[in-house]
C-alpha cells in the first residue's frame, strides 16, 4: 500500500509538471452530460415563468446549437428532427426572443415554417404527441409578436395548419399522460385532464391553461424534466433550486456515458468524484434486474453507492459461473457476512488446475488471495501462465496483471504488460478487444489494475490516465470582468441592450449600458454557455394584444370602481 501511495505521488508530480503555463486559469470539470431538446426547452419555459431570464438565454443559445439547418430539432444534436421537439424549441425561443429581441426571430419563423411544411395531408404530424405539441407551438407563434410581417400570407398558412391539426386531434384519442396534457393545451380543453393521472405533466398543463394545479408538496424530483414541469406549475423555489442544480454548462440533458462506465472510472485515482454523478443513475438499475447473474454483476456498484445488495442464494450456484460465486464471496466479505460456503463451493468445483477458463480462474485466484484463503496456488498459476494469449477481452489482462504481480510471477507479468502495451491505442486508451476503439470502461479497468499492482509510474499508466481525463473532463476557462470590460478568449459574446440583441463580439466586449451578455465557449462546438447580467435582463410580453387586453381590463375595473365610488359619494350628499 505504501509503494502504491508513493507511486501516485510521483505520478502527480509528473502530471503537474506537464501542465502548460496559464492552465491555472482553466478549470477541469467532468463533462459527462449531453444537452437534450425536451429537457432544455421545458427548463426555459419554467425559468421564464419565474423570471430567471439569464438561464432562459443560456437554454435558448443551446437550442440554437442543437438545431438543424432547417430550423428543426431532434431529441439531441444529429438525431432525426421531429415535430414534438421542434414545437418545444419554438415555444422556448418565443420566450427568449422577448428578452433579447431580434436574436431568435428568424429561427422562430423558420421553425414555424418547417412545422407547416411537414404537416401530413390529414392534419397530423408524426404521432399524437407530435401533433399536439406542434399545434400548441404554432398557436403560440400566432399569438406572439414575432410573426414575420414581410410574409403576409404566412400567418394564414399557420392558422390553417392549426385548424387542421386540431381537427385531427379531435378525431383521435390521447393515450399517455403526456399526450393528454398537450392535447388539453392544443384544444384549450381542460376537461381532458380529468383522465390523466396526477403527475408533473398534468400539473404543467393545468397551470398552462390558467387553472390551479393543486400540486402535492411531497413530490420527489428525479430528473430535470420533472423539476421544470413542477416549477412551471407551482413557481416553488425548491423546484427552481432543483432545476438549477441539474443545469450543466448552460443546458439540461441526460448522462452521455453508461453509469457503470463512470463507476469503473471513479475507482481510478483522480476520478473519484464521478461516483456521486453515477450513483443516482445506478440506483435506477436495481428494480430492473431479473436474473441471478445480474445481481452479482451489479452488486459491487450497488454497494459502492450505499445501496442494499441482494445476492443469489446457494441453491442457484449451479447456474452461475465460478467468477460470479467468487464475487459473491468478495461482496459478503465487504458487508461482514460469512462467505465460507462460497469458498468451499469453489474449492470443491475446481477442474484440475483451473475453474474452466483463463478469466474465471484468474478472478477466483484474485478473490481467494484477497480473502487470505490458503490454497496450493502454484499449479493454478502455471495454468494461467501457459494460457496467456493476445486474443481475449482487455479486462482479462487487467486482472492477470494483479494476480501475477501479487504472486511475483515476473515473466508472466511482463508478458501481460507487453500485451497491454500492444493494445494501447494512439490516444492512450484501451478498447474492449485488440484494435477496438478506446473506451471508458476498458481504460479505467486497466488503470485501476495498474494502480493496484503499483505500476503507476509508467508511460503505460500516464498515457491511459491522460486519455481518460481528456475523454471525461473538459477545460473550461474562467471569464474575466474588470473596469467595464468582459473578456473570454475564443468565446463568442452575445450582447443584449435595452431588451434587444445588438450583435456579437469575439473575446472581449465593453459591458457599459448592457442588460447583460451571453458567452459561448468555444465559438465552434461549444462546451459551455453562460449568461452574465450587467444592468439586468428584462422581458417584454411576447404576446400580441395580451398586454393591451390586460390594460383594458384594468382600465375597465378602475372605471367601475370610480363609478361605484361616485354613486356612494352622491348618495352621501343626498342624505346630508
309 located within any domain = yes
Residue 543 DSSP class:
B
Q: What is the pLDDT of residues 463-522, one digit of tens each?
A: 999 999 999 999 999 999 999 999 999 999 999 999 999 999 999 999 999 999 999 999
Instruction: Count the alpha carbons within 13 Å of 537 in the hemisphere toward its beta carbon.
Output: 27
Q: Which residue's C-alpha cell is 461482514?
A: 336
Alpha-carbon distance of 486 to 498, in angstroms, equals 18
Q: Which residue's C-alpha cell is 449600458?
A: 513
62 located within any domain = yes
One domain, residues 295 and 418: yes
89 located within any domain = yes
29 located within any domain = no
Among 178, 168, 240, 186, which Cα is nearest to 203's? 178
Of 474, 494, 518, the position where a domain reaches its end is 474
One domain, residues 467 and 482: no
One domain, residues 397 and 517: no
Q: Are 539 and 57 in contact (CB under 8 A)?
A: no
One domain, residues 416 and 338: yes
Beta bridge mates, 493 = 505, 519
Residues in CB range of 405: below 8 A, 6 or more apart: 413, 452, 453, 454, 455
Q: Which residue's C-alpha cell is 452530460?
A: 33
pTM of this structure: 0.86
Residue 374 DSSP class:
-
One domain, residues 442 and 406: yes
45 located within any domain = yes
Alpha-carbon distance of 431 to 439, in angstroms, equals 5
26 located within any domain = no
Of 254, 269, 287, the position where a domain reaches its end is 254
Q: Are 427 and 467 in contact (CB under 8 A)?
A: yes
Range of the domain at 565: 545-576
Which grid cell is 171? 378525431
- The structural domain count of the chain equals 4
Q: What are phi and psi of 80, to 5 degrees?
A: -60, 130
Which grid cell is 83? 415535430
Q: What are phi and psi of 312, to 5 degrees?
A: -60, 150
Alpha-carbon distance of 526 to 530, in angstroms, equals 11
Residue 308 CB neighbours (<10 A): 8
- The per-residue pLDDT for 288 is 77
Q: b/e map of 343-375 (b: 16 or more CB within 10 Å)?
A: bebbeeebeebbbeebbbbbbbbbbbeeeebee
Q: What is the pLDDT of residues 112-121, one digit of tens each?
A: 999 999 999 9
Residues in CB range of 218: below 8 A, 6 or more apart: none
One domain, residues 246 and 361: no
11 located within any domain = no
One domain, residues 224 and 267: no
Alpha-carbon distance of 162 to 293, in angstroms, equals 53
One domain, residues 245 and 280: no
One domain, residues 152 and 203: yes
One domain, residues 427 and 491: no
CATH number at residue 108: 1.50.10.20
One domain, residues 576 and 435: no
One domain, residues 367 and 432: yes
Of 254, 279, 306, the position where a domain reaches its end is 254
Question: Residue 528, SS3?
Answer: strand
- The per-residue pLDDT for 289 is 79
Residue 478 DSSP class:
P
- The per-residue pLDDT for 217 is 87
Which grid cell is 516? 447583460
- Residues of the chain predicted below pLDDT 50: 1-24, 547-576
412 located within any domain = yes
Amino acid at each position: 500500500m505504501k509503494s502504491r501511495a508513493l507511486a501516485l505521488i510521483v505520478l502527480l508530480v509528473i502530471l503537474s509538471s506537464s501542465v502548460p503555463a496559464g492552465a491555472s486559469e482553466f478549470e477541469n470539470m467532468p463533462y459527462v452530460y449531453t444537452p437534450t431538446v425536451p429537457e432544455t426547452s421545458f427548463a426555459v419555459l419554467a425559468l421564464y415563468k419565474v423570471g430567471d431570464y439569464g438561464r432562459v438565454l443560456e437554454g435558448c443559445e443551446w437550442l440554437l446549437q442543437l438545431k438543424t439547418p432547417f430550423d428543426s430539432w431532434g431529441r439531441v444534436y444529429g438525431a432525426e428532427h421531429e415535430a414534438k421537439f421542434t414545437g418545444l424549441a419554438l415555444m422556448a425561443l418565443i420566450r427568449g426572443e422577448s428578452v433579447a429581441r431580434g436574436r431568435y426571430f428568424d429561427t422562430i419563423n423558420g421553425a414555424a415554417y418547417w412545422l407547416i411544411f411537414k404537416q401530413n395531408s390529414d392534419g397530423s404530424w408524426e404521432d399524437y404527441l407530435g401533433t399536439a405539441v406542434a399545434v400548441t407551438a404554432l398557436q403560440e407563434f400566432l399569438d406572439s409578436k414575432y410573426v414575420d410581417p414581410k410574409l403576409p400570407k404566412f400567418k394564414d398558412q399557420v392558422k390553417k395548419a392549426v385548424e387542421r391539426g386540431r381537427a385531427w386531434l379531435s378525431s383521435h384519442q390521447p393515450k399517455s399522460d403526456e399526450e393528454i396534457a398537450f392535447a388539453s393545451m392544443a384544444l384549450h380543453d381542460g376537461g381532458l385532464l380529468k383522465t390523466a393521472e396526477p403527475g408533473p405533466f398534468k400539473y404543467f398543463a393545468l397551470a398552462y391553461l390558467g387553472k390551479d394545479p393543486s400540486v402535492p408538496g411531497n413530490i420527489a424530483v428525479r430528473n430535470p424534466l420533472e423539476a421544470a414541469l413542477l416549477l412551471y406549475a407551482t413557481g416553488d423555489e425548491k423546484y427552481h433550486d432543483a432545476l438549477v442544480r441539474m443545469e450543466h454548462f448552460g443546458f439540461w440533458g441526460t448522462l452521455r456515458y453508461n453509469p457503470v462506465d463512470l463507476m469503473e472510472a471513479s475507482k481510478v485515482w483522480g476520478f473519484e468524484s464521478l461516483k456521486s454523478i453515477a450513483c443516482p443513475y445506478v440506483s435506477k438499475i436495481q428494480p430492473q434486474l431479473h436474473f441471478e447473474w445480474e445481481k452479482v454483476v451489479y452488486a459491487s456498484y450497488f454497494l459502492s453507492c450505499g445501496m442494499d445488495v441482494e445476492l443469489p442464494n446457494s441453491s442457484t450456484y449451479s447456474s452461475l459461473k465460478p467468477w460470479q460465486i467468487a464475487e459473491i464471496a468478495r461482496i459478503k466479505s465487504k458487508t461482514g457476512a460469512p462467505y465460507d460456503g462460497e469458498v468451499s463451493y469453489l474449492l470443491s468445483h475446481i477442474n484440475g488446475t483451473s475453474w474452466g477458463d483463463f478469466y474465471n480462474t484468474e478472478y477466483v485466484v484474485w478473490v481467494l488471495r484477497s480473502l487470505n484463503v490458503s490454497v496450493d496456488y502454484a499449479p493454478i498459476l502455471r495454468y494461467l501462465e501457459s494460457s496467456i494469449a493476445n486474443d481475449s477481452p482487455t479486462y482479462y489482462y487487467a486482472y492477470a496483471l494483479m494476480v501475477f504481480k501479487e504472486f511475483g510471477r515476473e515473466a508472466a507479468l511482463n508478458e501481460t504488460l507487453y500485451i497491454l502495451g500492444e493494445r494501447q491505442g494512439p490516444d492512450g486508451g484501451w478498447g474492449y478487444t485488440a484494435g477496438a476503439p478506446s473506451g471508458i470502461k476498458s481504460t479505467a479497468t486497466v488503470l485501476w489494475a495498474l494502480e493496484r499492482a503499483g505500476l503507476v509510474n509508467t508511460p503505460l499508466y500516464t498515457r491511459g490516465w491522460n486519455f481518460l481525463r481528456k475523454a471525461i473532463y473538459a477545460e473550461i476557462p474562467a471569464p474575466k470582468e474588470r473596469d467595464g470590460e468582459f473578456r473570454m478568449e475564443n468565446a463568442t459574446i452575445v450582447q443584449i441592450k435595452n431588451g434587444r440583441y445588438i450583435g456579437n463580439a469575439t473575446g472581449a466586449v465593453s459591458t457599459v449600458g448592457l442588460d447583460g451578455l451571453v458567452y459561448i465557449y468555444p465559438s465552434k462546438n461549444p462546451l459551455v454557455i453562460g449568461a452574465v447580467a450587467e444592468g439586468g435582463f428584462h422581458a417584454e410580453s411576447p404576446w400580441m394584444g395580451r398586454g393591451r387586453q390586460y390594460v383594458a381590463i384594468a382600465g375597465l375595473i378602475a372605471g367601475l370602481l370610480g363609478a361605484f365610488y361616485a354613486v356612494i359619494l352622491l348618495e352621501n350628499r343626498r342624505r346630508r
